[in-house]
Structure formats: structure tokens, C-alpha cells
Amino acid sequence: MLSALNGRLSNRLARHFRAAPHRLPAHAPMVSFTFDDAPDSAAGEGASLLEAHGGRGTFYLAGSLVDQPRDHWHGLSNDAIVRLHRGGHEIGCHTFSHLRAVDLDESAMAREIERNRSHFFGIDPSIRLENFAYPYGLASVWRKPQLAQNFRSARGILPGVNSDVIDLQFLRASPLVTCEIDTDGVDRYFDEAVASGGWLIFYGHDVVDAPSPYGCTPDLLRHALKAAGARNMPIVTVAEALRRIGA
């Protein structure tokens, strides 16, 4: 109970403290599609749809979930990881054991980072994990500065567009999750990104016709990709977005 409270408090505090502020250049709306964990369908249909629209995605992976059955999907395979990496998609870090940052002390987090790095190095030595996403979207005010020393950015699941002065160590991300958002909701985020000139990040998991409570249908992803095209918004990985904003 106390731990749960501390977790929520640490997550809230992380929104407001120890920020890595970065001012976006004037009006350069863009969108990133990110997939957490990641299910084999994200690496399959998800990546194919992105590529068909000239985009690439960021896949935040935890080594312990690779090629493993989960409640709602099967984790992507080593072959899929290599294919994504060589195809220009980005592999990001999601801890090795998929643990909440609020439950890890400094040395435990350091071990998680190192273990995940060496896991993906073993799959393909040219994979570099430059960016991080918090498992369960739960940030930690205590781990935030440690992550900042190891990664260029950290992403949560606080919805909204990243605009004006953004926090690189608590990037906002909105759900591309069928049970949480419909096409109108997706369009609203795109319109907000155009109006603010900001950086829109979506997060999701599986991409299948009957998605889990955490994933989306191919139709919803297709709709979002078309919405980006209609607004001339580049579809870029998190690493590429950071290059474009000079972070």
C-alpha cells in the first residue's frame, strides 16, 4: 500500500521536477508511432503499415519479453528485431525485466539498463538503445536523473502533444489504443499538433483486428498514418525526432 502510494507520488512528482527542458523550433509538427514490449503483430503488420506510409517506428523492448507468450500476444522474435533494426525502425529500452521504475533503486535500474543493452547487443551489435520508455508508463522522480545520464529521452503515457518547452525526460504520449480512442480522437491530436507545431507521440502494443485492451486495429493505425499524410506531418522515430529538434 505504502509502496503503491509512493509509486503514484513519485510518478506525479516526475512530471514536475528534474526536467530536461528543451524548446522546440518554431512550427515543425511531426509524429512518432511507438510500440511497447512488443507483440509480434506490432513488428509485423504494425511495421508494414508504417513503411507503406513512408514512416518508421520506435519499438521499446524489454529483453525478457522477446519471443515469450504473454496474456494477450506473443513477443516478437529475434529475427523480427533484426528486421526492424535493418529496416530503419528504432529499438528503444523498456528495462530488461519490464519492471516499474518506482520499484527499482539506483543499482537495480543500472543492472536493468546494462542487461537490456547487452541482450540487444547480442542480437545485433549495431543496435544502440538511445531512448527509454517507462514500463506501465510510471515514471520515477528518483530514477529520472539516472535515466537522463543513460538515454537521450524517456517517454511516459501522459497524453497530449509535446509543444513549446518540452521535457525530454518525460515525453508525453497519447494512446493509439482502440478501446481508449476512436478516429475522431486521433484527428483531434493531429489538429492540436498542427496548431501548436508540436511533436505528437502515440504509444500502443499489438496491431490486430481483435486487439487486446492495450493495442489497436490495423484500421486505426492506418487512419492515423493517413491523418499524418493529409497534414504533411513527417512520421519519424523518436531518435529522428530528437535530431530534428536539435536535442
Residues that bind Zn ion (CB under 5 A): 36-37, 135
Q: Which is nearer to Zn ion, 36 or 45 (CB)?
A: 36
User: Cβ distance 186 to 220 under 8 Å?
Assistant: yes
- State the greatest distance between any 2 C-alpha atoms of the chain, in Å, as a whole number: 48
Helices (H), 53-161: 78-86, 106-123, 144-150
Q: Which is nearer to Zn ion, 36 or 167 (CB)?
A: 36
Task: Please count the helices (runs of H) and the strands (runs of E) in the chain.
Answer: 9, 9
Q: Which is nearer to Zn ion, 163 or 174 (CB)?
A: 174
At closest approach, how far in Å is the CB of 127 from Zn ion? Answer: 18
In the structure grid, which three cell numbers stand for residue 61, read together?
Answer: 523492448
At closest approach, how far in Å is the CB of 204 from Zn ion? Answer: 11
Indicate the length of the chain as a whole number. 247
Q: Which is nearer to Zn ion, 77 or 196 (CB)?
A: 77
At closest approach, how far in Å is the CB of 36 from Zn ion? Answer: 4
At closest approach, how far in Å is the CB of 163 from Zn ion? Answer: 25
d(CA 59, CA 4): 28
SS3 state at 84: helix
Distances 36 to 11, 94, 174, 184 between C-alpha atoms, Å = 19, 8, 13, 23
At closest approach, how far in Å is the CB of 17 from Zn ion? Answer: 24
In the structure grid, which three cell numbers stand for residue 5, read together?
Answer: 502510494
The CB-nearest residue to Zn ion is: 36
Q: Which is nearer to Zn ion, 34 or 237 (CB)?
A: 34
